[in-house]
Amino acid sequence: MQPRSIPLGSISESGSEERHERRDAAANRELLLQTAEVLFAQHGVENVSMADIAQAAGVGKGTLYRRFANKGELCLALMDAQLSDFQEAMLARMRQMVVDGESSMAQLDMFLDALVHFTAVHQPLLCEVQREGLFGNSTHLSLPHFWQHMTVSGLLQTAVLRQEISAELDIAYIADALLAPLKVDLFRFQREVRGFSVERISAGLRSLAASLKQVT
C-alpha cells in the first residue's frame, strides 16, 4: 500500500535523495512480497527457498536478489507494516503513561511485555531476520534491534534521572542484556524445549528488569 520501499517504518528515508526504483521494479517487488507471503503461509517460512519464491513469481533469481539481498531482508519487508504499527503503538502508550504520571520502569515493563508478545507472534519471520546476524550484513536488518535498544536505553536513562534505578548501571549494556533473551533462538528453545509459556517468559523478563529498581 505504501509507496515506500525501505523496511522499518520509522527512521524513514527523510525524503531527500530517493534512490530511483523503476516503476516495473516496484511492481515486481510487490509481486515478490505477495508471492512469498502465500508460499510462506502454505509451506511454512523455513520450507520455502529463495529459488522457490522466484520461480513461483515467474522471475529469475537475479531479480529476486536485486530487491532483497537475502531471505532475512525479504522477511523484514514482509513485516514492515506490522513493525511500524508496533512502534507507533508503543510510542503512543508510552506517551500516555507519561501523561498518567507512570514511572519509567513501569513503561519499560509494559514495553518488554509487548515485545515478548510481538516476538511470539512473529517468531517464524523474525527467525529468518535474525539468522543474518547483527553484523556488517545489510545495515537495516539490525534496525529493529537498534530501535529496541534505543527505546530500552532511553527508558533506563530516564529512570536514572528520576532516581528509579541506580546511576551506577551501564545503561547501554543493560539494554542489550535485557533484549538478549528475546533473540528468537533462545525464545524458541524456551518455548519448545523448556515448555515455557509466553506469559512465563514475559513475567520472567519483567522480573529481571524490575530487580534493577531497588537501590544499589
Partner DNA sequence: CCAATATGTGGACTTGAGTCCATTTGTAAC
Partner DNA sequence: GTTACAAATGGACTCAAGTCCACATATTGG
Question: Residues in the site for DNA, rule: CB under 7 A?
Answer: 19-25, 28, 49-51, 58-63, 65-67, 69-71, 132
Q: Is 177 a binder of a copy of itself (CB under 8 A)?
A: yes
Q: Which does 201 bind (CB under 5 to 8 A by kind): DNA, a copy of itself, none?
A: a copy of itself
Q: Is 194 a binder of a copy of itself (CB under 8 A)?
A: yes
Q: Which does 211 bind (CB under 5 to 8 A by kind): a copy of itself, DNA, none?
A: a copy of itself
Query: Rounded to 10 degrees, what is the CA torsion of 56, 59, 60, 65?
Result: -90
| Cα–Cα distance, 31 to 66 (Å, whole number) | 14
Contacting residue, 153, 172, 191, 198, with a copy of itself by CB under 8 A: 172
**Look-up of cell digits 538478549:** 180
Contacting residue, 134, 150, 161, 167, with a copy of itself by CB under 8 A: 134
Q: Is 125 exposed, middle or buried (0-12, 13-18, 19+ CB in 10 A)?
A: buried
Q: Considering only the stretches 21-29, 91-99, 133-141, 156-164, report the one whose residues sit in contact with a copy of itself under the rule CB under 8 A.
A: 133-141
Q: Which residues, other chains included, contact 17 with Cβ-Cβ below 8 Å and sequence gap of 6+?
A: none
Q: Is 124 a binder of a copy of itself (CB under 8 A)?
A: no
Q: Considering only the stretches 9-17, 60-68, 74-82, 186-194, report the one whose residues sit in contact with a copy of itself under the rule CB under 8 A.
A: 186-194
Q: Are 205 and 178 in contact (CB under 8 A)?
A: yes
Q: Which does 194 bind (CB under 5 to 8 A by kind): DNA, a copy of itself, none?
A: a copy of itself
Q: Is 140 a binder of a copy of itself (CB under 8 A)?
A: no
Tell how far CA 84 is from the center of its chain.
Answer: 9
| Cα–Cα distance, 141 to 12 (Å, whole number) | 14
Contacting residue, 50, 117, 196, 198, with a copy of itself by CB under 8 A: 196
Q: Cell numbers of 120, please?
A: 511470539
For 126-161, give the secondary structure using H, E and C.
HHHHHHCCCCCCCHHHHHHHHHHHHHHHHHHHHHHH
Contacting residue, 92, 133, 150, 167, with a copy of itself by CB under 8 A: 133
- The beta-strand segments (E) located in the chain are none
If the CB atoms of residues 61 and 194 are measured against DNA, the closer one turns out to be 61
Selection from 130, 69, 111, 90 nearest residue 9 by Cα: 90
Q: Can you give the binding site for a copy of itself, defined by CB under 8 A?
A: 133-135, 168-170, 172-174, 176-177, 180-181, 183, 185-186, 188-190, 192-194, 196, 200-201, 203-205, 207-208, 210-212, 214-216
